[in-house]
Amino acid sequence: MNLSYTPATICAVATAPGRGGVGVIRVSGKDLLPFAQAISGGKSPKPRYATYTDFFDAHGQAIDNGLLLYFPGPNSFTGEDVLELQGHGGPVVMKMLLARCVELGARLAEPGEFTKRAFLNDKLDLAQAESVADLIDASSETAAKSALKSLKGAFSKEIHVLVDELITLRMLVEATLDFPEEEIDFLKQADALGKLMRLRDRLVQVQATAKQGAILREGMHVVLVGQPNVGKSSLMNALAGDDIAIVTDIAGTTRDTVREEIVIDGVPVHIIDTAGLRDTDDVVEKIGIERTWQAVERADLALLLVDSREGLTAEVQAILERLPPALPRVQVFNKVDLSGEAAGLSVENGHPLVRLSARTHQGVDVLKAKLLEMIGYSGADEGVFLARQRHLDAIARAAEHLELAHADWEQVEIFAEELRMAQNALSEITGEFSADDLLGVIFSRFCIGK
């Protein structure tokens, strides 16, 4: 797909901000050889080789030295000429090098602009472009591996197979429109319905895989309710196990930690700690509490943690009553090593109840399995590719149109139209059928330099 745009030369620091051994500036544009020569003092870098050089300012003074890489288009990430200046990774050096690039005619890149150009120049489709951001943001190894799979095109390939089958079926259906007398017989003979069913089955499979990928990407949002000392931190650590645990530990407005992130079997789990939800007159804290309640509204489930020697206390009960009634919940009775109860799963008042010990880890696996089951996660097998809500929505719409096509297949015009709509919905995933504003939204969420 080629939209019209003016390919200005763009530049950005591609490495993370701050100090590092090496800092990389990426430049993309048309015909960058003169640019490369100007910044390296007249050297002509050999394509795709590292050239050791000084980087010079306008007066011929060296700013830094390092490696210059030159990838002539179209065999580059963006499809344009790309330069990489690998200098020393200090903020001042990077700033001076970037200023020199601007002086040489480049402008600072917008977030995601390199990847957007790769998309516009057909180097990546939209699902692949999104997986670039997902790979960078991946919060677990499993998510990173699945993102890479999407980046390499596994997801797009599945979609293309579906679209190709849809096109074949559409050709058949549209051909019959020219023969209004015999169209139904014709469709029956050609087994149009059988083809439609197989298509639907395949779509359902892709939908299931994409759903697993979306869970891996978005993770699960858990509200943690529990009094001090019932073992919340201990349980979080026990759940996280060997997966490099607490990823972030965002401090609350005053004393309490409001949100934590752990990873369970590769699935990121965002924890909203209701310890921060108490009555207060402090204005700043009130805002924090308001935000926490908003997060509670969007949560996937609530985890109620109590000391099994005490059971549900009045305080826990009070928070429970304020939770959205439809929010699924799991009760956890901790410290069974002290109460002497047996670890394991039961059901109480219609909610699952897990007895466990965060200290001895008895029963922790039971809870893990229950949590993953409740959000519909069945494990990342080899086939899982990372997917986004946007993809799930598009797949769901395609499935709906296939249903309508099926329901009304004897009205051949409607049959044909529904198939067309199903194809459009699927093509949104790879970007072959996407509005410009959708592209804007997707790429603006990237970080700069990507």
- Residue the block writes with tokens 């990407």: 217
List 21, 228, 325, 350, residue binding ligand GDP (CB under 6 A):
228
User: 422 contacts which partner out of Zn ion, ligand GDP, none, CB within 5 to 8 A by kind?
Assistant: none
Closest approach, Cβ 270 to Zn ion, in A, equals 3
User: 334 contacts which partner out of Zn ion, ligand GDP, none, CB within 5 to 8 A by kind?
Assistant: ligand GDP
Query: Burial level of 137, CB count in 10 A (0-12/13-18/19+)?
Result: middle
User: 133 contacts which partner out of ligand GDP, Zn ion, none, CB within 5 to 8 A by kind?
Assistant: none
Closest approach, Cβ 268 to Zn ion, in A, equals 8
| Length of the chain (residues) | 450
Query: 228 preceded by cis ω (within 30°)?
Result: no
- Per-residue DSSP letter, 377: -
Closest approach, Cβ 357 to ligand GDP, in A, equals 4
Closest approach, Cβ 217 to Zn ion, in A, equals 11
Q: Where does this chain bind Zn ion (CB under 5 A)? A: 270
Q: Is residue 428 a contact partner of residue 156, using CB atoms and an 8 Å limit?
A: no
Q: Does 338 bind ligand GDP (CB under 6 A)?
A: yes
Strand partners, 426: none
Closest approach, Cβ 274 to ligand GDP, in A, equals 11
Closest approach, Cβ 297 to ligand GDP, in A, equals 24
* Cα–Cα distance measured from residue 85 to residue 69, given in angstroms and rounded to the nearest whole number: 7
User: 230 contacts which partner out of Zn ion, ligand GDP, none, CB within 5 to 8 A by kind?
Assistant: ligand GDP
Residue 229: CA count within 13 A, CB half-sphere: 2
User: For Zn ion, which is the closer residue by CB, 84 or 261?
Assistant: 261
Q: Is 26 annotated as a binding residue?
A: yes
Q: Is residue 75 a contact partner of residue 21, using CB atoms and an 8 Å limit?
A: no
| Stretch of 155-163, 172-180, 280-288, 352-360 lying at the interface with ligand GDP (CB under 6 A) | 352-360
**For the chain, percent helix, then strand, then coil, each to nearest 5?**
45, 20, 35
The full DSSP string for 397-442 is HHHHHHHHHHHTTTSHHHHHHHHHHHHHHHHHHHTSS--HHHHHHH
User: 257 contacts which partner out of Zn ion, ligand GDP, none, CB within 5 to 8 A by kind?
Assistant: none
Residue 323: CA count within 13 A, CB half-sphere: 25
Other beta carbons less than 10 A from residue 202's beta carbon? 14
Q: Is 2 annotated as a binding residue?
A: no
Q: Does 274 bind ligand GDP (CB under 6 A)?
A: no
User: For Zn ion, which is the closer residue by CB, 258 or 354?
Assistant: 258
Q: Is 232 annotated as a binding residue?
A: yes
- Residues that constitute the known binding site for GTP: 229-234, 248-254, 273-276, 357-359
Q: Would you tell me which residues interact with ligand GDP (CB under 6 A)?
A: 226, 228-234, 334-335, 337-338, 357-359
Binding-site residue positions for Mg(2+): 233, 254
